[in-house]
Every structure is written in structure tokens, then in C-alpha cells.
Amino acid sequence: MMNRCLNRFGYVLAPTATQGYGNLVTEMLINAEEHTTRRDWWVAAYVDENDGPEQTGVCRIVIFNFGPSLGETLRAKMPPATREELESLLDQHKARGFPAHFNEDDFWTLAAIQKRVSSKFFGTNRGSGLPAMISAFQRLASDRVPPKMCLISGRTRILFDKKHQMRRNANRRHRIAFNESNMLANPPSRDYVHRLPRVTSFPGTLVSLRFRIDPDHLRELYGRQASDREP
């Protein structure tokens, strides 16, 4: 489907680039299926064709499900070692005092998107779906049209662009904490992680992405063969 869209602009993706975009969508679908109590989920996607030279090729994807929030799911079931580590971090927030834009529920939602943190963590490959999706989004998205990703779960909203990356922190853990130290023990920036208005709560999890499919950017990532103009 991706190549059918690109063909309208005279391009096709090479296998490495196709795999990259495929992994991005696959990880979102896996998470939607695993974290809903209803065993169903919804997805919508399209590519803009006629929004001007810079907007052409902008992809929009929305995936959502109904059920407990990410934070509620994580708190309900996680291995003892993960619980001990996260509750220790939470105690540091409580001792310091939560800022107005961030509370305990937001902490658990933020924790749930970290690498190797999962309510289903029974092996080394668990807790990698959302982090892989975040990393793929930030890597594949072109800066020519500022990429945006939004995650809403319960009353927590998390915004993504390329400023805060999923990377190793001072403790050698892959984290995205949305602060200068990249440590979950410190509060995130209110511009990226914050509470929805008091009366607003999404009964599940919603992920929305906007990014540009840019052949020039893909060439920089994967080499000259990443996206080739058709003859």
C-alpha cells in the first residue's frame, strides 16, 4: 500500500525502507491488540496528495482502542523487579512534590512507554513495542514538515517530535523522559507530558501520527537505493 501511494509521486521504496515503515505500523497494531480488553481496535490512515509542495506526501495515521489506560494496565500487573524500580522513582516525585501539570497517574503512563517496561514482561522482548514505534517515527519522519505524534491514554497526553529522543540515560537505560536529564525521576516538560482538562478522559488509548514520506530523507538514512525514482 505504501508503494502504491508513493507511485503517485514517481517513487517506490526499497526493501529496507519498506521494512522500516512496516515495523512502525506493526508495532502500533500489536500494542492496540494487546492492551484492549475488548479484543478489537480501530485504525485509519491516508496520504495527502494536493496540499502544496511541502505538504504532498504527508502521512496521517490514527489508532485507538477502548479499555484501561496504559498506566492502569501497567499498575495492575507487572513483575516485582519492575514494580520495585518504578515505585522507587515514584517515591522521589512524591518527596519532591508533583508539579501542577504532572501527577501519579501521568507518571505511570509515562513509565508504560519506556523500553522493557511492560505489564506483559515475561522475557527480554517484552516492553519493546511502543519504544520501537517511537524510535521508528522519529527516525523515519522528515523535518521538511515537522513530524508530530500524540498519545492520549486516560487523562494523560504525551506529545512527540524530535526534540526528546528515545536514548540511553545516565543509568544506561533506553528512556524518553522529556526532560534535560532524560531521567524518569525528574518531572517531564509540561509542553510534552501533561494532564487533559478535568472533565476530559479518553476511555482507552489513542495514538495519532503525522509525518512526511520524503525520498530525500530516506536516501540519507538508507543510502541511494532506499527510494528510487521510477524511469
The per-residue pLDDT for range 106-145, each reduced to its tens digit, is: 999 999 999 878 665 544 444 456 787 788 788 877 777 7
Helix axes 129-140, 215-222, angle to 10 degrees: 110
Residue 47 pLDDT exceeds 50: yes
Residue 55 pLDDT exceeds 60: no
Mean pLDDT value across residues 211-216: 78
pTM: 0.79
Residue 25 pLDDT exceeds 60: yes
Helices (H), 44-143: 70-76, 80-96, 104-112, 129-140
Query: What does the pLDDT read at residue 88?
Result: 96
Query: What does the pLDDT read at residue 185?
Result: 95
Query: What does the pLDDT read at residue 231?
Result: 32
**CA distances (Å), 124 to each of 109, 174, 192, in order?**
21, 14, 28
Residue 180 pLDDT exceeds 90: yes
Q: How many secondary structure helices (H) and strands (E) does the chain include? A: 7, 10
According to DSSP, the residues that pair with 212 across neighbouring strands are 58
Query: What does the pLDDT read at residue 199?
Result: 74
Query: What does the pLDDT read at residue 227?
Result: 44
> CA-CA distance, 209 to 195, in Å (whole number)?
20
Q: Which residue type sits at 178?
A: F
Q: Which residue type sits at 182?
A: N
Residue 14 pLDDT exceeds 80: no
Least confident of 25-29, 94-98, 164-168: 25-29
Query: What does the pLDDT read at residue 126?
Result: 44
- Lookup: cell for 119: 505489564
